[in-house]
Amino acid sequence: MFSFYKMQATGNDFIIINYLENKLGYSYKLLTEFLCDRHYGIGADGLLTVEKSDIADFKMRIFNKDGSEAEMCGNGIRCFAKYVYEKKLTNKTEISIETLSGIKNVNLEIEGDTVIKIQVDMGEPIFELEKIPVSFLGDNYKGSLHIDGITIYPISMGNPHAVCFVENVEKIDIKKYGETVEDYKYFPNKTNVEFVQIVDKSNIKIRIWERGVGETNSCGTGTCAASVISNKYKSTNNVLNVDLAGGKLKTIYDKSVKLIGGAEFVFEGKINI
């Protein structure tokens, strides 16, 4: 039997296990698949583990609900930061967190003993196809690709994304197009997909199709990817308010991307498997 915490950030929910205390001998993949099952397990979009790091304050591993490991998660890292501070694993308000996409620096806004807002430096966006990665071999690449009648803009925020613009996000057949793009031959590691509606220069609205998960209420790296592509190709402002199914986030794009938002505890418990 071991302890777990359930947390959410703009409706993107995670199970957090403290591997500094729990020495579990289970396969990460099998454990994630079981715990994230909403019928037979706890239920979540993904699993986060708190682990020791030799190069940062903490190490965060991220697993999608299908058991695949993700490089980075913008909503997950906010949950992670709130957890380690409020559970008194650190008293720092500036925390470095090791991820598969590098070390991310997080700043916490505190009221009393409670973390009320988290700003994450998500790093610089990546546009080079081989680094996203994208295996498109054509000679006419100019920042976008065409897949089954839709135009997508590949980008990495530590993990791969494909951003496409739509007139109305509520009317898009997200399952049809999300599944098609996620597993398209151009993306050797699959990709997350963001459908973006430009509201005005300071506001965008997006729906998220996450690799290995399906449609989710929110995605932090997806929010950053959508903001950068909107600025680059639709001339939106560097500071954007982003409206997602799970709530609102804010991004600031100035070479690197800052993601600003909250996170909440849902419940805690013990489980025997």
Q: Are residues 96 and 152 in the same domain?
A: no
Q: Per mean pLDDT, which range of 6-10, 25-29, 113-117 is the poorest?
A: 25-29
Q: Are residues 243 and 138 in the same domain?
A: yes
> Which tens digits make up the pLDDT trace of 151-164?
999 999 999 999 99
Q: Are residues 134 and 240 in the same domain?
A: yes
**Rounded Cα–Cα distance for residues 250 and 257 (Å):** 10
Write down the pTM of the prediction.
0.92
Over range 240-246, report the average pLDDT: 97
Contacts of 30-34 with C-beta under 8 Å, sequence gap 24+, read 30/67, 31/273, 32/63, 32/64, 32/65, 32/66, 32/67, 33/65, 33/66, 33/67, 34/273
Q: Are residues 85 and 180 in the same domain?
A: no
Q: Are residues 30 and 96 in the same domain?
A: yes
Q: Are residues 212 and 175 in the same domain?
A: yes
Q: Are residues 198 and 170 in the same domain?
A: yes
Helices (H), 87-204: 174-182
Q: Are residues 108 and 221 in the same domain?
A: no
Q: Are residues 264 and 221 in the same domain?
A: no
Whether 139 has a pLDDT exceeding 90, the answer reads no
Catalytic residue selected from 36, 164, 219, 224: 219
Over range 231-251, report the average pLDDT: 97
Q: Are residues 42 and 81 in the same domain?
A: yes
Q: Give yes or no: 73 in active site.
A: yes
pLDDT band, very low/low/confident/very high, at 256 (cuts 50, 70, 90) = very high
> Which tens digits make up the pLDDT trace of 9-52?
999 999 999 999 877 788 999 999 999 999 999 999 999 999 99
Quote the pLDDT of residue 63. 97
Q: Are residues 117 and 202 in the same domain?
A: no
Q: Is 62 exposed, middle or buried (0-12, 13-18, 19+ CB in 10 A)?
A: buried
Exposure of 177 in the CB half-sphere (CA atoms within 13 A): 22
Quote the pLDDT of residue 2. 86
Quote the pLDDT of residue 273. 79
Q: Mean pLDDT across the chain, nearest whole number?
A: 96
User: How many Cβ atoms sit within 10 Å of the Cβ of residue 122?
Assistant: 27
Please state the domain count of the chain.
Answer: 2
> Which tens digits make up the pLDDT trace of 169-192?
999 999 999 999 999 999 999 999
Catalytic residue selected from 73, 79, 164, 224: 73
Over range 238-266, report the average pLDDT: 97
**CA distances in angstroms from 22 to 19, 77, 263, listed in the order given:** 5, 20, 23
Exposure of 221 in the CB half-sphere (CA atoms within 13 A): 27
SS3 234: helix
Q: Give yes or no: 219 in active site.
A: yes
**Rounded Cα–Cα distance for residues 238 and 236 (Å):** 7
Quote the pLDDT of residue 112. 94
Whether 78 has a pLDDT exceeding 90, the answer reads yes
Over range 126-142, report the average pLDDT: 91
Residue range of the domain that includes 229: 129-254
Quote the pLDDT of residue 22. 73
Quote the pLDDT of residue 196. 98
Q: Are residues 135 and 247 in the same domain?
A: yes
Quote the pLDDT of residue 146. 94
CATH classification of the domain holding 163: 3.10.310.10
Quote the pLDDT of residue 172. 95
SS3 94: strand
